[in-house]
Amino acid sequence: MENKIARLIELVHRIPEACLDEAIEFMSAKIEENDDDKPSPSCPHCKGDNVSKNGRKDGRQRYRCNSCRKTFGDFTNTAISHSHYGEAVWKQVIRDAISGESLDATAVSIGVSHSTVFNMRHKILLALEAHEVQNPTVLDGVCELDDTYVLESYKGKKLPNGFWRKPRKHGAKAQKRGVSNEYVSICTGVQRDGAAYGSTVTRATPSKEDVIAVFEGRIGSEALILCDGAASYIALGEKCESPVKNVCEDGNTKGGKGFYNTNTANSFHSFIKSRYNQYRGVATKFLNRYNALFSKTFRNDSNLVDELYGFLTDNDTSNHRTVHDVKNLDLLGI
């Protein structure tokens, strides 16, 4: 999809100076007209509907609640409160996150700094994580469970002297062969005709306790679990009382129709790794934020941009995020 903000910036760069005032007046009038046409929102403080308009601040409409007497704006108590940018910019950042654009590419295209896009993207990721906590994905029907591995990363951080490994450049390989503590495991579950879920709780090969920690409460009562025979996933079947099929023992087919396999899980793994490479790695402490994005976007053809923007502008206080939260909230410590 065309990046309309980048197109607008290009036009501004080419506009004659004599037309600047006219363009500014036109755009300001359009913004005010849009605000005038919008119905007044309910109060985010008391949820009351007896609300009046209360002037403008920094070019944005303000409101006053006639019940609790508090003032607020359209984005008060939302994930994007105090942001200087409007709907079009936020939706472009969402669109780029979904499509796997790098932070630098997004920053250049919309004309803002790298750190601004970083904070905006991570507010989106935190909103997705919060939504997953509030509405846990439950896998039912035929489900494929397996784990995949990505190289751990301290991207954006200078390693101290005497650290357990040497710094490496983008694209470098692990020092050890095979699965080691240089890799982080992502436990994934995919419903063949529905949702996907992935989460990281450990380095290297996940144990039985790790798998149970990821999937307990997320396997439906009618689920049939297909796995590669790892003992940790077999134990999960006992915990959630769902039948487990080991595709390595049962063979890759049932009646010649290819029923017992983990091809869908493998497809999810390929999707994760392709995005991981597009981002040129993800700092391990932020990995579960990105897992929430991967889980939401895999095979999802719905209008995710509007849906995610809805999460961000929901004035539920649990979605309210600050730059401090971006840097410190729910970091993965493994």
Question: Which CATH topology does 137-285 take?
Answer: Nucleotidyltransferase; domain 5 (3.30.420)
Q: How far apart are the first and last CA of the chain?
A: 38
Q: So what's the pLDDT on residue 238?
A: 78
Average pLDDT value for the chain:
86
3-state SS class at 253 = coil
Domain boundaries, the chain: 1-32, 38-74, 137-285
* Spatial distance between the Cα atoms of 89 and 104, rounded to a whole number of angstroms: 15
The predicted model scores a pTM of 0.85
Structure tokens at 259: 């029923």
* Spatial distance between the Cα atoms of 69 and 204, rounded to a whole number of angstroms: 55
Q: So what's the pLDDT on residue 42?
A: 87
Q: Provide mean pLDDT across the span 113-119.
A: 94
Residue 1 has pLDDT above 70, yes or no: no
Q: Which residue has the tokens 């997953």?
A: 132
> Which amino acid is it at 274?
S
Q: So what's the pLDDT on residue 163?
A: 84
3-state SS class at 138 = coil
10 Å CB burial of residue 226 (0-12, 13-18, 19+) is buried
What are 197-236's pLDDT values in tens digits? 999 999 989 999 999 999 988 998 888 999 887 888 888 8
* Spatial distance between the Cα atoms of 142 and 224, rounded to a whole number of angstroms: 5
Q: So what's the pLDDT on residue 210?
A: 93
Instruction: Kindly report the backbone phi and psi dihedral angles of residue 13, in degrees, each rounded to the nearest multiple of 5, phi listed first.
Output: -65, -25
